[in-house]
Structure 1
Amino acid sequence: MKIMCLNAWGGKLYEKLLPYVKASDPDVLCLQEVIHSPASEKDWLTYRDGDHVLAQRANFFRDVSHALPDHVAIFCPAAQGVLWDENQPVPSQWGLATFVRRSIPIIAQVQGFVHKGFSPVGYGDHPRSRNAHGVRVYDYAAERAVSITHMHGLRDLNGKMDTPERAEQARRLLNFSRQVSEPGDVVVVCGDFNVEPGSETLALLADAGFKELVMGRGIESTRSTQYKKPGRFADYMLVNREEAVQSFDVIHDPEVSDHCPLVLRL
C-alpha cells in the first residue's frame, strides 16, 4: 500500500502537482491546505489577510478529484471565509482532503478538530481552527487493516515552538487515531504538524508507541526551495509498526509545493 502526505500550498503549483499525483498514483493521499469554492467556477481567486496576499487555486479539491478519478474523495473543511475575484468576495472553504482508491474499502472514519472548532463566518484570528481526518481501510494485498490519520497543525505567528495549544492538539490527534484504529492495525499518523523535530508533539506520539520516519531516516528537510523562511521541517509521518515499512521517501524533485511529499510504502 502506497500512502502519500502533502501540504498542497493551496494549489499554487497545481500545474506540477496534478501530473505528479496522477503519475505517482498513491493508494491513499492525505492533503492539507485544500481549497473548495463551490460557489465559483473560477480557476483562481485571491486570499487577502492584511499585507499577506496569495493566489489560491479556487477549486483545488475538484482539480485533484479529477486527477484521481479512481479514488473516493473526501473533503473536511476547517473554516469558510472569503476569497476575492478582483473586488468581488467569494465564499470559500479551506481544510483537508483524503483520497482513497475505490478498490480499497473504507471501513471506518473519524473527523474533528485538533484546535478550536469550525469557523463558519471567516477564517478567524490566528492561530486558526485546525482539523484532522482519519480513515481505516482494508488492505487486501496484505490481508490486514490500516488506519491513517492526518492533520494540519496550528500556525502560531510566533513560531513553531512548544505551546499548551500544540500539546493539546497532539493529544487530540492521538485520540482521533485511537478512535479509528483497532488492535492489530498498522497505524499511520501524518501531516504538516508545524512543529520542530524535538517538539513535545513528537515526544507524545513516541510515548504512545509511534516511530517517526522523517528524522528516523535521517531526512535533512521536508521543505522545498519554494520555502524561503528559516526552518526546514514541518511535515512528519509516524507508524506504530516499523517492521511494516517497505520504504519511506521525502520527494524533493519535482517541486509541487513549498512542502515536499512524504511517501510511505507498507
Structure 2
Amino acid sequence: MELRAQLQDCVGELDGLERSLERSLGVMRGKLEAAINVQRRYEADAAHELRTPVAGLRAQLEEAQLNRAEIDLDSLLERALSDVNRLQAIIEDLHLLCELQEAARLVEPVPVDLAEVARAQVPRCAGRHEVKVKAEPGLVVSSVPARLGRLLAELLDNAQRHARFLVRVEIRRAGDLGELVVSDDGPGIPAHERERVFGRFTRLDDARCRDRGGTGLGLAIVRNIAEMYGGSVHAEEAAGGGAALVVRLPLAHPAAPG
C-alpha cells in the first residue's frame, strides 16, 4: 500500500510537471510567433521602402530611353541621383541596425563625457536652423564615442527637419542618469504617437512625415544605441511647444548619497 501511494504521488508530480512544461512551452511559442511576426512586418516594410525609389529610378530611365531626343539630361541625372542617394541612405541605416548588437559584444565601452560629444557633433550637423547648446560638464557615461555621436546626429537631423526656427541641445543630470535632450520648435508629436515614432519606418501625419528627408530609421537607431548602453529614450512636449526627445543613460560616476 505504501509503495502504491508513493507511485501515485510520483505520477501526480509527473502530471503536474507535464502541465507546467506545456504552459511554459505555450508561452515560449507565443513569444516566438510574436517575434517572427514582428520580423516579417519589418522585412515587408524594408522591401517597400527600397522598392519605392527603385521604381522611381526605373520610370525615369525608361522615359529617357523612349524620348531620348526630348530628355533634359541634367534634370534626369539630378533626379536619378536623388533616388540613388535615398536608396543608399536606407541601406546604410538598415546595415547599422543589423550590426549594432554585434558591435555591442565586440567593442568595449569607455568613459565618455556627454558635453564633449555635443561639442564635437553639433558643428558637424549644421542645418537650416540655429542650434543652441546648454551642457552641464562632467556627466560621464560608459559607451562608445562614435555610437553616441551617431545617436546625437540622428536626433539633430530629426529636429532640423521639423523645427521652424530653433533647435536646442541640453545635457543635464537626473539623479544617477545623464540626460541628453534635443528639442525643436516645430509642430510637436501627438501624445498617442510618442512611442510609435521609435519604430522602424513609422509613418505619422504630414506635420512630422519621414518623407521630409529621413529614411524612417533614425529614431529606431537612437533607441537601439541608447538601450545598448543601459539607457532609454522617449518623446515629450518641449517647453513652449514642439518635440523634445530625451535620452537617459546611466552615469559612470553617479552622485554620492547625501
State whether TM-score is above 0.5. Answer: no
Larger strand fraction of residues: 1
Q: TM-score, normalised by structure 2?
A: 0.23
Q: TM-score, normalised by structure 1?
A: 0.22
Larger helix fraction of residues: 2
Which structure is richer in relative contact order (CA contacts within 8 A, separation 6 or more)?
1
Larger radius of gyration: 2
